[in-house]
A and B are shown apart, each in its own frame.
Chain A
Amino acid sequence: AQSVTQPDIHITVSEGASLELRCNYSYGATPYLFWYVQSPGQGLQLLLKYFSGDTLVQGIKGFEAEFKRSQSSFNLRKPSVHWSDAAEYFCARFQEYGNKLVFGAGTILRVKS
């Protein structure tokens, strides 16, 4: 079955440091990939998405992600983390073309000052 794996349950970074959150996917010739962020008590907000074309995609709030087919990865990055970035981050893919989303288990980001 098509799946999404986020290997890190928790990550703690210092404010101002760089960030990379890992995401790996299985199967699919050209997966449609997403990163969402969820703050406590809030719904999921889309950060960025990859469908095709340039493998480095830019999103909101200074985030970017790189699609690497050879590694089946779609890692999320930010050069300098702010305290307000503390939240839970979910990587997801369409299970079938334009249908349901399949999510990873999420990575909780803590930012220390």
Chain B
Amino acid sequence: GAGVSQSPRYKVAKRGQDVALRCDPISGHVSLFWYQQALGQGPEFLTYFQNEAQLDKSGLPSDRFFAERPEGSVSTLKIQRTQQEDSAVYLCASSPRSASGSTDTQYFGPGTRLTVL
């Protein structure tokens, strides 16, 4: 079946612009995660959704970062007033069940590479 897809794959923004990154999880997956991967680093957790509920946003680096999943499927990560330090690959992952009490594998999308000039 189809895996996790993300769009766009590449995004170049001028400093100060707003961007929106989209994630389409595997159909039926309850849990959705966003991670940020800076150059030369491992991915770092940003936020977690269980269906449409955002249960953990402890990894969002500032209030310029906002994520939503209004219907419990597609998710959008929005970054307002982008800064150069926001340049990174943004990875989305989904898993079948609620993360709480689960050890489900997380399936990752190809990521969106954001470059802020």
What is the interface of chain A, defined by CB distance below 8 A to chain B?
4, 32, 36, 41-46, 49, 51, 90, 92, 94-95, 97-106
Contact = CB atoms under 8 A, between A and B. Distances in A.
B101 interface: yes
19 contacts: A41-B110, A43-B91, A43-B108, A43-B111, A45-B108, A46-B106, A90-B42, A95-B45, A97-B103, A98-B102, A98-B104, A99-B56, A100-B33, A100-B56, A100-B59, A101-B43, A103-B43, A104-B42, A106-B40
B105 interface: yes
B100 A99 contact: yes
A57 to B, nearest CB: 13
Contacts of A97: 100-101, 103
B34 to A, nearest CB: 10
A69 B71 CA distance: 42
A105 B104 contact: no
Contacts of A46: 105-107
A51 B103 contact: yes
A103 to B, nearest CB: 3
Contacts of B41: 105-106
B101 A98 contact: yes
Interface of B: 3-4, 33, 35, 40-45, 48, 56, 59, 91, 93, 98-111
Contacts of B109: 43
B91 A100 contact: no
B45 A100 contact: yes
A44 B100 contact: no
Contacts of A100: 33, 45, 48, 56, 59, 99
A97 B98 CA distance: 11
A45 B101 CA distance: 23
Contacts of B105: 46, 49
A88 to B, nearest CB: 9
A38 B101 CA distance: 27
A44 B35 CA distance: 11
Contacts of A92: 42
Given A32-B103, A43-B4, A99 B48 contact: yes
